[in-house]
Chain A
Amino acid sequence: MAASANQVRFARNRRRHLIEQAIGGALFACASVTVVTTVGIVVILLGEGATFFQDVSVIEFLTNDRWTPLFASKNFGVLPLVSGTLLIAVGASLVALPIGTVSAVFLSEYASPHVRGVVKPVLEVLAGIPTVVYGYFALTFITPLLRDSFFPELGPFNAVSAIVVVGVMIIPMVSSLSDDAMRAVPVALREGAYGVGATRFEVVTRIVLPAALSGIVASYLLAISRAIGETMAVTIAAGATPHLTFNPLESVQTMTAYIVQVSLGDTPHGSLEYRTIFAVGATLFTMTLGMNIIARRVVGRFQETYE
């Protein structure tokens, strides 16, 4: 009798069990969406890119220094687009990473709660401005300003104005996410350092930054990815002329700007010219992937993991 009573006592609740299973399945399905999307994008990029490379050799693609697939005399050298992209991304990073990091240190370690409560939301508003606005801000304000004050020869389309606005655009990403990462460092660690007579600056540089490194680098990656991917502002400010140059005063075209140009234009689907965008997209994907892998190595090497 006791045995059957126990069976009743611990009997499996079928309904509850089914609900638990359904919840697990639904959560998995949501998580799968991003994975499936990513895999799909990679497959299409690589597949379409592969058909492009049946007509154009990889060697030519990577070494030719002219990119004129839409002209009568076609050249398929991706380097001008890569240089334009790198110029904007590196330049914008040089603007945003130092300013963003220093802002984050200020917000996290120096600002009073009151100041922080005002400054952080204002910084984050920068991230909400549509990029087309940044583009015209560069074209109609930054470029004339730079021309009048520093570079009289500056053309209407130039990389430097794009660098400035893209840099400003990504500052809040760096400052806000790095600030979060620094504030996540336990107060106990800071107190330990203060307790042996560390100054605030020593606490920041020797305790907080090393402990928050992975979050800070993650913010850098997001910001740089955004700078690489930024299309509208760069197209408006830097123009659409692929140049193999690292001179920020010239007009350049980035990889994303080229992709937009082709997909919005009247290039026939399926043509070689059309398929260039997949080759360019695959190149871009490889570059950002490589950057992520390197960043992970850097974090693994220097991160000071707490807890």
Chain B
Amino acid sequence: MVGTIPEGARPLPQKAPGAPLMSSGTGTPIASPAPAAKPPIDVDVPDPIVEIRDFDLWYGKFQALEGVSLRVPRNQITALIGPSGCGKTTLLRSINRMNDLIPYVRARGEIAVDGRNIYDPGVDPVEVRRVIGMVFQKPNPFPKSIHQNVAFGARINGYRGDIDELVERALKQAALWEEVSDKLSESGLTLSGGQQQRLCIARAIAVSPDIVLMDEPCSALDPIATQRIEDLMRRLAEDYTIVIVTHNMQQAARVSDRTAFMLAGDDRTGRLIEYGTTDQIFSTPRDERTEAYITGRFG
């Protein structure tokens, strides 16, 4: 892996948990106190797979994110919470460069995945998205058969193995196989909302990503379908790293290992307010704004 990192990549030094993190090369301390009140960066993340450092993002002239630093632990579930417009979806979509598809988007800072900054000029966003899959707010199966939906990513990536087997495996992992095994050639749109979302999860994991980003994956679903997806997420976390955006604080508390609370100021620019283990955030938040949000006093 290290051998394949092109010039310009900056592999992170392996740190013991709790050790202060310094980025190599430039000598800029990551956790340096910034002019404005810098969000407390959680340095106690063992084996991070994604490291976001001082990330800013603009839509045209509007700054949507400022100074976000966050380390996402491997094979765990990290939840991004916060009121509407706080930038959590923008941050999520930055992790697989989905925001590149929006005209006039500009980003500054770094998001390193396994030590490789995906905003490096030499990085192909298409390759990034092959490693970092995504599940969207509204289930968006392709208007193709269930089989084709799952096989889509593998096909375009030139998968050489047995496609049928891959489809079956992905559907089983997504806890959908039992319900659709006898109608794989039917359109994905014939499924119920919850099934469609699990189909989208199967589609995402069929390309064997390292990370799956989920943008409010249950917001369009009923409570029973929501619970199935949440159970599924817990199981998927054994094999994948999951980052989930959610409006639902109970959901974050139920499924996630770590929680990041974001908030937009009066300038509507989103910032990371607090990040920690989910237990800590929900029991003893350090920032009063976090406490106000999780206790339902605003947002």
A-contacting residues, B128-187, CB 8 Å: 129-131, 133-136, 138, 140-144, 152-153, 156-157
A206 and B143 contacting across the interface, CB-CB below 8 Å: no
B-contacting residues, A147-192, CB 8 Å: 186, 188-192
B-contacting residues, A204-253, CB 8 Å: 206-207, 210-211
- Known A-B contacts A197-B207, A206-B152; the reply to A192 vs B143 at CB < 8 A is no
- Known A-B contacts A113-B103, A202-B156, A306-B189; the reply to A194 vs B142 at CB < 8 A is no
- Known A-B contacts A188-B136, A189-B142, A306-B189; the reply to A194 vs B101 at CB < 8 A is yes
- Known A-B contacts A206-B152, A306-B189; the reply to A192 vs B157 at CB < 8 A is no
**Cβ-defined partner of B143 (8 Å) among A190, A197, A304:** A304
B101 and A191 contacting across the interface, CB-CB below 8 Å: yes
Instruction: For A187, give the chain B residue with the smallest CB separation.
Output: B101
For residue B142, which residues in chain A have a CB less than 8 angstroms away from its CB? 189, 192-193, 207, 304
A-contacting residues, B100-133, CB 8 Å: 101, 103, 126-127, 129-131, 133
Q: Give the distance in Å from the alpha carbon of A193 to the alpha carbon of B206 in the complex.
A: 13
For residue A206, which residues in chain B have a CB less than 8 angstroms away from its CB? 152, 156
**Cβ-defined partner of A188 (8 Å) among B138, B152, B204:** B138
A194 CB → nearest B CB, Å? 6
- Known A-B contacts A206-B156, A305-B143; the reply to A192 vs B200 at CB < 8 A is yes
A193 and B152 contacting across the interface, CB-CB below 8 Å: yes
Interface centre among A190, A195, A199, A307 (most CB of B within 10 A): A195
B129 and A195 contacting across the interface, CB-CB below 8 Å: yes
Q: Give the distance in Å from the alpha carbon of A112 to the alpha carbon of B104 in the complex.
A: 9
A306 and B143 contacting across the interface, CB-CB below 8 Å: yes
A198 beta carbon closer than 8 Å to chain B: yes
B69 beta carbon closer than 8 Å to chain A: no
B98 beta carbon closer than 8 Å to chain A: yes
For residue B134, which residues in chain A have a CB less than 8 angstroms away from its CB? 191, 195
**Cβ-defined partner of B157 (8 Å) among A195, A197, A207:** A197
A-contacting residues, B195-228, CB 8 Å: 200, 203-204, 206-207
B96 beta carbon closer than 8 Å to chain A: yes
B98 and A196 contacting across the interface, CB-CB below 8 Å: no
Q: Give the distance in Å from the alpha carbon of A107 to the alpha carbon of B156 in the complex.
A: 24
Q: Give the distance in Å from the alpha carbon of A210 to the alpha carbon of B126 in the complex.
A: 22
For residue A193, which residues in chain B have a CB less than 8 angstroms away from its CB? 142, 152
Q: Mark B65-95, 1 if CB is under 8 A from A, else 0.
A: 0000000000000000000000000000000
B-contacting residues, A97-138, CB 8 Å: 112-113
A262 CB → nearest B CB, Å? 49
For residue A305, which residues in chain B have a CB less than 8 angstroms away from its CB? 143, 189
Q: Residues on A close to B: CB < 8 A?
A: 112-113, 186, 188-199, 202, 206-207, 210-211, 304-307
Residue contacts A-B, CB under 8 angstroms, 16 given: A188-B140, A191-B101, A191-B134, A191-B140, A192-B203, A194-B129, A195-B135, A196-B204, A197-B157, A198-B156, A206-B156, A207-B142, A211-B143, A305-B189, A306-B143, A307-B189
Q: Residues on B close to A: CB < 8 A?
A: 96, 98, 101, 103, 126-127, 129-131, 133-136, 138, 140-144, 152-153, 156-157, 189, 200, 203-204, 206-207
